[in-house]
Amino acid sequence: MLSGNFDSFIQIIDSAEKIVLLPHIYADGDALGSCGALGTFLKASGHDVTVLIQEPVEDKLTFLPKIAGIEYILFDEEKYVADDARYDLAIAVDTSTPDRLGTREKVFHAAKIQARIDHHAAGGDFTENTLLDPAWAATAEGVWLLLTRMGFDCEESRPEALTEEVKRSVASCIYTALVTDTGCFAFSNVTAQTHRIAGRMLEIAGNMSFVYHHVFEVKSMAYTRLMKTVYNKLEFPAEGVASVALTQADFDEAGAGDSDAEGIANILRSIQGVHVGIFVKPDKVPGKYRVSLRSDDHCSVADVATVFGGGGHVCAAGCGFAARDDEAFSRKMAELIDAVKERLK
Ligand SMILES: [Mn+2]
């Protein structure tokens, strides 16, 4: 169900001249695509718009700055003084809690007015001016609905500066956001509306197959080297359970970072006959480990994670543990596997 109201959100935008768009930290395709689409449109409509990102755009998404009609500016903390209300309006995009803004939180609060467009059901009500619907597969779905209400797709009322090039740019950004947040239209969050919007984006932007190629097909060398180790270390400690535990040395040898390890627990879970995937990797703090758990309807991994002080959803959860030597590590792994076995139906 929709929280907030399009008309008042548009009023806030209309009355602002200088606007800053803030995607969440480690911005993904939805956060960057939504900001690209909204920013490109608002710029063409005559606003002074800045998209401020916390980290450089990740490799697989570097095509986005090329198709967006607006620049993504890397946040430089020293250049921004606290409480300097340089913006009339700050919009948090695809951001569920204010701490997901990183050090740009102060930019958000320093603006005269705060707003948020998002699709995360969980999270805080950190601003009154929120436009949020958990039924949107991506925040970009809401951005599209907002833009159409601002005259984007209507020949009579759309702003004059909205050239075909701007339209293509906006549509490419929205399409990218939809593709990434839905696992290429594979997840259960996809609705008929998601497909309708994606269809309209293709009508405007033309062939977009390069998005799938960059986001899902291309694998980095570091990831590929890490996956060699993952398959070498793959174990089936109980029926229906697959597990892999990597060490810091495994990451170092592969030249891999945290982002290369994303989705490994899902890969384990997708093996035929496996109901629970357990992926363990070292934490930044030496002697500590992070656990990703994925399951189907045979086991609630949220319950497993709770035992170890973590949490999450029934099918996707996480927790951590400390182990100062190999023996302690093996003991913790055995406890983890026992906790899974107890809950496996
Ligand atoms: Mn999203």
Q: Is 338 exposed, middle or buried, given 0-12, 13-18 or 19+ CB atoms closer than 10 A? A: middle
State the burial class of residue 203 (Cβ atoms within 10 Å of its Cβ: 0-12, 13-18, 19+). Answer: exposed
Q: How far is the CA of 120 from the centre of ligand 1 (A)?
A: 7
Q: How much is the pLDDT for 62?
A: 96
How many Cβ atoms from other residues are within 10 Å of residue 248's Cβ? 12
Per-residue pLDDT of the chain (345 residues; tens, 9 = 90+): 898 999 999 999 999 999 999 999 999 999 999 999 999 999 999 999 999 999 999 989 999 999 999 999 999 988 776 556 589 999 999 998 899 999 999 999 999 999 999 998 876 778 989 999 999 999 999 999 999 999 888 776 666 678 899 999 999 999 999 999 999 999 889 999 999 999 999 999 999 999 999 999 999 999 999 999 999 999 999 999 999 999 999 999 999 998 899 889 999 999 999 999 999 999 989 999 999 999 998 999 999 999 999 988 889 899 999 999 999 999 999 999 999 999 998
Residues 198-254: tens digit of each pLDDT: 999 999 999 999 999 999 999 999 999 999 999 999 999 999 999 999 999 999 999
Ligand 1 center to 345 CA (angstroms): 32
Q: Give this prediction's pTM.
A: 0.85
Q: What is the pLDDT of residues 326-343, one digit of tens each?
A: 999 999 999 999 999 999
Neighbours of ion ligand 1 (CB under 5 A): 30, 94, 139, 181
Burial 83-106 (b: 16+ CB within 10 A, else e): eeeebbbbbbbbbbebebbbebbe
Tokens of 124: 């805080």
Q: How close is the Cα of 177 to the center of ligand 1, in Å? A: 8
pLDDT value for 154: 76
Q: Separation of 31 CA from ligand 1 center, angstroms?
A: 6
Residue 119: enclosing H or E segment and its boundaries?
A: none
Give phi and psi for 343, each to the nearest 5: -100, 0
Distance 234 CA to ligand 1 centre (A): 31
Q: Ligand 1 centre from 34 Cα, in Å?
A: 9
Ligand 1 centroid distance, CA of 329 (Å): 35
Pair 170, 177: CB distance under 8 Å: no
d(CA 213, CA 335): 40
100 Cα–ligand 1 center, Å: 13
Domains in the chain, CATH or no CATH each = 6-217 (3.90.1640.10), 221-343 (3.10.310.30)
Ligand 1 centroid – CA 94 distance (Å): 5
List, edge to edge, every strand of the sheet that includes 316-322.
235-238, 241-245, 276-282, 288-295, 316-322, 311-312
How far away, in angstroms, is 119 Cα from ligand 1 center?
Answer: 6
Give distance in angstroms: CA of 342 to centre of ligand 1.
34
Three-state secondary structure of 129-140 = EEEECCCCCCHH
Please give the pLDDT value at position 318. Answer: 93
The pLDDT score that the predictor gives to residue 80 is 76
Alpha helices in the chain (DSSP H): 6-14, 29-44, 64-67, 105-110, 139-149, 164-181, 192-205, 209-212, 221-233, 248-254, 264-269, 301-307, 326-343
CA distances 203 to 98, 145, 171, 199, 208, Å, are 36, 16, 9, 6, 10
pLDDT at 335: 97
Q: How far is the CA of 280 from the centre of ligand 1 (A)?
A: 25
Tokens 């002697």 belong to residue: 287
